[in-house]
Amino acid sequence: MMDAPLSPAAQVAAENDKAVSRRSRLLSLPALFIVFVFGVLPLVLICIYSFLKPYQNGGVVWQFSTDAYLNFLFQRDIFDDTLQFAPDFLIIYGRSIWYALFTTVVCLLLGFPTAYFMATRPPEQRNWWVLLITIPFWSNLLVRTVAIMFIIRDEGLINDMLIYFHVIDKPITMLYTDFAIILGLLYSFLPFMVLPLYSSLEKMDFRLVEAGYDLYASRWQVLRRIIIPLAKPGIVAGSLLVFIPALGAYVPPLILGGGRHLMIGDLIAQQFGSGRNWPLGSAQALILMAAVLVALYFYSRNEAGPVKHG
Amino acid sequence: MADLSKTMDLKRQAGFGTIAVICLIILYAPIIVLMLFSFNSGSQITKFEGLGLSWYASAFQNQEFYSATKNTLIISFTATIFSTIAAVLAAIGTTRVKPWPGMSWAFMIINLPLMVPEIITAVATLSFFALIAGAFGLNFGIGNIIIAHTVFCIPFAYMPIKARLEDMDLTLENAASDLYATPWQAFKRITLPLLMPGIASGTALAFIVSFDDFTITQLVAGPGQTTLPLFIWNQIRKPMTPEINAISTILLMVSILFISVSFLIARSRKT
Amino acid sequence: MSNSKVAIDVRGASRVFKAPGQEPVAALDNVSVSIKENEFFTLLGPSGCGKTTLLRLIAGFDFPTDGQIMLYGEDIAVLPPYKRPVNTVFQSYALFPHMTVAQNIGFGLEMQGKPKAEIDARVAEMLKLVRMEPMKDRKTSQISGGQQQRVALARALAPKPKVLLLDEPLSALDYKLRKDMQIELKRLQTETGITFIFVTHDQEEALTMSDRIAVMSKGKILQVGSPHDIYDRPAVRFVADFIGETNFLSGAVKSSAKGNSKVKLECGPEIAASSDDGVKSQGNVTVVIRPEHSNLCAAKQGQLKGVLENAVYFGTDTHYHVKLEDGTHFMVRQQNEGGAQKAFAIGALVGIAIDEGTARILRD
């Protein structure tokens, strides 16, 4: 590729580059090894498992079968061995998508004003707001969800208060309902929406807002036509950061759903637990993964950068 | 004058401040209630009867609580150490170097745990260790959990370290080299000390993420390998005492402590 | 300069960047220059001219794709920076933020493995030299920009390098501070006797401080000489234009002998102009005349004639803008003498007298 021979200095530089490249690869090796062997290979494994037969007591029998995928949509009639359309799993997936979407929208409606408010505080105040939002973000999810459970139980704080003030005479059932799960999801993921939005809004050039007012726009118009479009990267990032984990959520429906309103996460866990159908669970996991990948694909087309949780 | 400044404030939008405060209330109310009731001297979980530390006392006498704490600390410390070391090395190898073949794949692999829903990682890990145990008879006991935690801790440690490395002024290393420092000396005396805030931040994050983990731990853990989150999960399926408030509060306090420290470290480097 | 030992000899150095799928770009194109020992040598040029690239080549942060960099006769192009007895003062100072002033200054000596006593002594000496003794235990983020500059200098001088490289070190300072530092730097260079290679885009700075200047443009060195040489006898158009103000007149050579020629100018008259010895001038040339080497006079008495378009008053002198007969613009700079001065009316026909021996013929 080179037309002329390299000068001695150029040769030394080239050798140096090779050494640095070798060293960089070596340095990355431990992390790559760990994540590949114990992160990637297990995922490959369940891909394989989804095409095997289940073993009675859990685990698999190494025989090829597409039963798992069939079972996702159909059930074999035990009498005449025909396939019947069984929408049970589809319903659960549908419900999860619905919950996740709803949660995302509500988080957006609550989170955008919050992030905007934070971004427009004076700099010293801003840091405190970020700390306040960050703390729930990183606190133990189980504990936080249990805290909600305590509050909305029949014997919980809200019902106690309402009965004490004679607003109602019997406790309202809030736990183990749709409402409880969505509340749990909202509570878990609200910071996931606020922080990326804040990041995006903080970098915004408010002179553009000034220009909008200068041109006779009302506050609402400025919001709609200048601020929101400029914050789009943050909106997209935040929405994905809420939607994807919400879709595969496990803890909130487990604690607050009581096994009555399953989401995908619990469904999969069940197959590996009492359901004793690992191939089915693997297939369900892969279908969830496919949904996540689709969402991620739309995200990368938006060119907003890598997905991060922190 | 006050009124005028309010209407003139170009950044203000109606009602946004109120919503922000509502959000804070939503986020903190359950936590605060939980903590408040941990000081409840009565025996009902959610009926307040007076202040007292009796439940903390009983928690500290709970054998299972100690056992769970011991397990959690062993797992989290070990996982944090391994993941941070791996993350530091990987960050150095992937930041500010000429892209080497496969580097973008490496980047994706390292960040994989962040992109896969936790439940999927959990069942995959479970299957993997079950296979190893079945086919090779290898069971690392609590080591299984440590390994699983290390995997997802790596990207959490990696991110702040990489960010700190990218922020660093390249000319500082040139200056060191100009002043007769060999590449190793430049790393030891200049790069590493300046990288410390990022490493501290990454370590704190890795620890917290491991300490708080429930989903993966629940599916991978065997009998006798209860961690604190699993302990709480077991407790809420039995008749509950306010002791669980106390224990939950302790967990929250640990999280808050680490997060505040990590946050303050990250802030101090910006000055 | 009595001893003319060559400290840095750049021989045909080039630095070519080749991005895949694009034309190769030469940041440095076959550059050769000899820098003498104990010299204050300046690389002068606009941004992108290659002066910083050349400096980096000498420092070791980049390598020449062709050519040699000789330090006292030894080719150092293959050596990494930490093996070259050459130190740099960076434009951004690059002080180590986690170390104190004293630790920064002593860093180079520490890396050389010198004993602690020697390091301490030398650091004290340097602190005294740049007058930063009271700050020695401060962190570098706690001192002002000008002070950081001095620490950067002290740090680079402490290991007693053979050559000191300075990459636009004064560009971040305000005017007064910059003027003070210029004097300071000149003093340091004479006192320490170390060869200074100074990079700047500020021609005034170059003219006041340097023993010799190399004017660069687009990766090439156009002219090397003392400030006088560069100013009074610019060789090419770029140099004449970049340094100070110049008037350019086109013409054709009528006769030429040993560096002196007679040129018939397009705007009318014939004038005497000089060029480099040995360069035979012929054909169409450009003649340059500095504004201060001309005077306004009555139209009949001037070598050039034209219409006075504008007179701009600058306190110490006045700039007269004259439009010559062929449309070329000529600027005359005259010192204002106190008291009555011959006033020239705007729009009037005026004459321009050229000082003898000041007109130069450009090489291009």
Which residue ranges form the domains of chain C, and what is each CATH number?
A: 6-232 (3.40.50.300), 245-361 (2.40.50.140)
pLDDT at B3: 47
Q: How far apart are CA C71 and CA C83, in angstroms?
A: 12
Three-class SS of chain C: CCCCCEEEEEEEEEEEECCCCCCCEEEEEEEEEEEECCCEEEEECCCCCCHHHHHHHHHCCCCCCEEEEEECCEECCCCCHHHCCEEEECCCCCCCCCCEHHHHHHHHHHHCCCCHHHHHHHHHHHHHHCCCHHHCCCEHHHCCHHHHHHHHHHHHHCCCCCEEEEECCCCCCCHHHHHHHHHHHHHHHHHHCCEEEEEECCHHHHHHHCCEEEEEECCEEEEEECHHHHHHCCCCHHHHHHCCCCEEEEEEEEEEECCEEEEEECCCCEEEEECCCCCCCCCEEEEEECHHHEEEECCCCCCEEEEEEEEEECCCEEEEEEEECCCCEEEEEEECCCCCCCCCCCCCEEEEEECCCCCEECCC
H or E element that contains B31: helix B16-38
Residues of A in contact with B187 (CB under 8 A): none
- The verdict on A30 touching B (C-beta cutoff 8 Å) is yes
- The verdict on A9 touching C (C-beta cutoff 8 Å) is yes
By residue range, what is the domain housing residue B147?
Answer: 56-268
The answer to whether the Cβ–Cβ distance between B185 and C111 falls below 8 Å is yes
Chains that touch C (3 or more CB pairs under 8 A): A, B
Contact A182/A99 with Cβ under 8 angstroms? Answer: yes
The predicted-structure confidence for C154-209, as pLDDT tens digits, reads as follows: 999 999 999 999 999 998 888 998 999 999 999 999 999 999 999 999 999 999 99
Q: Which residues of C touch A (CB under 8 A)?
A: 63-67, 75, 77-78
Radius of gyration for the alpha carbons in chain C, expressed in angstroms and rounded: 25
Q: B45 lies in a domain?
A: no
In this structure, what are the phi and psi dihedrals at residue C89, rounded to the nearest 5 degrees?
-105, 115
The answer to whether the Cβ–Cβ distance between C77 and A8 falls below 8 Å is yes
Q: What is the mean pLDDT of residues B150-167?
A: 92
Between A196-200, B177-181, C98-102, the lowest mean confidence (pLDDT) is in: A196-200
Residue of chain C with shortest Cα separation from A12 = C78
Contact C283/C290 with Cβ under 8 angstroms? Answer: no
Output the six-digit token pair for C2. 């009595």
Mention every residue, 6+ apart, whose C-beta is less than 8 A from residue B75: B142, B145, B146, B149, B210, B227
Q: Taken in order B92, B94, B95, B96, is the CA torsion positive or negative?
A: positive
pLDDT at A306: 46
Residue A309: pLDDT band with limits 50, 70, 90: very low
Q: What is the mean pLDDT of residues A281-306?
A: 79
Is the model's pLDDT at B2 over the cut of 70? no
Structure letter (DSSP) for residue B49: -
- The verdict on B222 touching C (C-beta cutoff 8 Å) is no
Separation in Å, CA of A160 to nearest CA in chain B = 8
Q: B40 lies in a domain?
A: no
Average pLDDT, rounded, for chain C: 89
Output the six-digit token pair for A152. 């909305």
- The verdict on A206 touching B (C-beta cutoff 8 Å) is yes
- The verdict on C94 touching B (C-beta cutoff 8 Å) is yes
Separation in Å, CA of B140 to nearest CA in chain C = 43
Kindly compute the dihedral angle of the four CA atoms of residues B93, B94, B96, B98, in this order, to the nearest 10 degrees: 90
Q: Percentage of residues in chain B with pLDDT exceeding 70?
A: 90
CATH number reported for the structural domain that contains residue B236 in this entry:
1.10.3720.10
Kindly compute the dihedral angle of the four CA atoms of residues B173, B178, B182, B186, in this order, to the nearest 10 degrees: -30
Q: What is the mean pLDDT of residues B137-149?
A: 87
For residue C153, which of C117, C113, C186 has the smallest C-alpha distance? C186
pLDDT at A230: 82
The predicted-structure confidence for C47-74, as pLDDT tens digits, reads as follows: 989 999 999 999 999 999 989 999 998 9
For residue A146, which of B258, B245, B218, B219 has the smallest C-alpha distance? B245
Q: What is the mean pLDDT of residues B250-270?
A: 80
In this structure, what are the phi and psi dihedrals at residue C169, rounded to the nearest 5 degrees?
-70, -20
Structure letter (DSSP) for residue A62: E
Residue of chain B with shortest Cα separation from C60 = B178
pLDDT at C111: 94
Mention every residue, 6+ apart, whose C-beta is less than 8 A from residue C204: none
The answer to whether the Cβ–Cβ distance between C82 and B169 falls below 8 Å is no
What value of ipTM does the predicted structure carry? 0.85
The answer to whether the Cβ–Cβ distance between C64 and A9 falls below 8 Å is yes
Q: Choose, out of A7, A12, A17, the residue to mutate when testing the contact with C (most C CBs < 10 Å).
A: A7
- The verdict on A19 touching C (C-beta cutoff 8 Å) is no
Separation in Å, CA of A304 to nearest CA in chain B = 15
**C-alpha pair distances (Å), A71 with each of A49, B80, C283:** 14, 41, 95
Residue C279: pLDDT band with limits 50, 70, 90: low
Residue A304: pLDDT band with limits 50, 70, 90: very low
In this structure, what are the phi and psi dihedrals at residue A266, rounded to the nearest 5 degrees?
-65, -35
Q: How far apart are CA B202 and CA B160, in angstroms?
A: 6
pLDDT at A120: 83
pLDDT at A240: 85
Q: What is the mean pLDDT of residues C300-326?
A: 88
In this structure, what are the phi and psi dihedrals at residue B95, rounded to the nearest 5 degrees?
-115, 135
Q: B220 lies in a domain?
A: yes
In this structure, what are the phi and psi dihedrals at residue C190, rounded to the nearest 5 degrees?
-70, -40
Separation in Å, CA of A135 to nearest CA in chain B = 6
Radius of gyration for the alpha carbons in chain A, expressed in angstroms and rounded: 26
- The verdict on B180 touching C (C-beta cutoff 8 Å) is yes
Q: B111 lies in a domain?
A: yes
Is the model's pLDDT at B6 over the cut of 60? no
Pairing mode, if any, of strands A52-54 and A60-64? antiparallel
Q: B219 lies in a domain?
A: yes
- Cβ contacts below 8 Å, chain A against chain B, sum to 276
Closest CB to B179: pick one of C92, C98, C108: C108
Contact B97/A24 with Cβ under 8 angstroms? Answer: yes
Contact B52/B40 with Cβ under 8 angstroms? Answer: yes
- The verdict on A13 touching C (C-beta cutoff 8 Å) is yes
- Global confidence as pTM: 0.83
Residues of B in contact with A148 (CB under 8 A): 30
The predicted-structure confidence for A168-222, as pLDDT tens digits, reads as follows: 777 777 778 888 899 899 988 898 888 888 888 888 877 887 787 788 777 777 7
Contact B42/B48 with Cβ under 8 angstroms? Answer: yes
Q: How many domains does chain B have?
A: 1
Residue for token digits 């983990």? B213
The answer to whether the Cβ–Cβ distance between B248 and A146 falls below 8 Å is yes
- The verdict on B82 touching A (C-beta cutoff 8 Å) is yes
pLDDT at B139: 79
Q: B66 lies in a domain?
A: yes
